[in-house]
Structure 1
């Protein structure tokens, strides 16, 4: 499965920066929707320890016991296959933990910190070394679609966007909702609240699109190339935001509560 996914690395993304035009009519509905769909993520960059591969890290981690009193609602490993950067990343994957809110994060992190250190058997720290500090972001769902359809690994894209002028996070959620619907993909906007490089508050967001399976991603990209799928359909005049070209990831689902 992983071997097939990694073949996507050969896919060449067209390098360009584009402007997304936001429809002003989306403002009220986006604000209400965002408030009712709020979750947060804690993410850290990780490097695989010697003697292990990405496949090892994923497979072994899925076999760990996740306790409800301390485990996040979901855990994903995001492995970059086409990363948008001026310098290669000095890490192998991003560990992303989802929580229902800040009280949930504080409660479960407190349990983890207070737990006795003595443990038997292999632990995640044996598999990978992650940054001590992470990034905490608010996440707002744009378009709800099926993800991980009969698979534990799928493809997703992310792109960083600068919010120009009076553009708000809620505006970005409206764009993500429309584009996700056009692409047939789950979409969300994350706004960094703590950690990472210094930026002005609510001046930058990350927009993500997650596909049901790798084949769905390939079919959608072929549709965009042929012109039969237009991700920007329905986006009209309004206040612009400027986005980079996307980063392509293999998203490994490691744990999900009630899954």
Structure 2
């Protein structure tokens, strides 16, 4: 993915605008690895999802969550057949253990369906504001809409300030019965313009 970011954050829903009223300690972030992929000719996104859902991800080294993000609106940077594969891990060591053994975990058919730019993955430290979000209604639905914004922290603000501000916004929304998931991600490792990670 293109970048050029310094302290760039991908923030779900709202940015840092109000002073933090509720200070709470930040949880340990998880790791999200984003990879841009293209759906191969002759296949559809529905085909990809059918195969991905049929795969087993049991075991301690399996990813915690896998999502495929297809843009419905945005800046036009992605082509119609492109998708972002987002995978959540506990940490970098968790990801490394899985990747080391991925030949035994890979689906040959899924590899045929998706052409992924593995050398230009983005590694994001990800914080959920709480664990009360329920965008998939406990598994009753298998897709949901997400809103993302790319922002930079203004001088004098920290990631902790952002977390506390979003926690305040989230607490107000929860009090009104809102079940949306809120959080933010900070680019940690990843490609820069015209450079590959060589991973």
Q: Pick the TM interval, shorter chain.
A: 0.7 to 0.9
| Structure 1 runs not aligned, ≥5 long | 1-17, 199-259
| Structure 2 runs not aligned, ≥5 long | 1-13, 194-199
Q: Does 1:145 align with 2:133?
A: yes
Which of 184, 191, 210 aligns to 2:186? It is 191
Q: For residues 92 and 161 of structure 2, what CA distance do their matches in structure 1 show?
A: 23
Structure with higher strand content: 1
Q: Does 1:94 align with 2:84?
A: yes
Q: For residues 15 and 182 of structure 2, what CA distance do their matches in structure 1 show?
A: 18
Report the equivalent of 1:22. Answer: 18
Q: CA RMSD in A?
A: 2.5
Deviation, 1:180, is: 3.5
Instruction: Return the TM-score normalized by structure 1.
Output: 0.59
Q: For residues 166 and 53 of structure 1, what CA distance do their matches in structure 2 show?
A: 46
Instruction: Return the TM-score normalized by structure 2.
Output: 0.75
Alignment of 1:28-67 (within 5 A): 28-29=23-24, 32=25, 34=26, 36-67=27-58
Deviation, 1:147, is: 2.2
| TM-aligned CA distance change 1:37 to 1:141, over 3 Å | farther
Which of 90, 94, 116 aligns to 1:130? It is 116
Q: Report how many residues are paired.
A: 170
Higher-Rg member (1/2): 1
| TM-aligned CA distance change 1:181 to 1:93, over 3 Å | farther
Deviations 1:185-222 (A, max 9, x none): 11011011000337xxxxxxxxxxxxxxxxxxxxxxxx
The SS at the match of 1:107 is: helix
The SS at the match of 1:156 is: coil
Q: For residues 152 and 67 of structure 2, what CA distance do their matches in structure 1 show?
A: 25
Q: For residues 182 and 197 of structure 1, what CA distance do their matches in structure 2 show?
A: 37
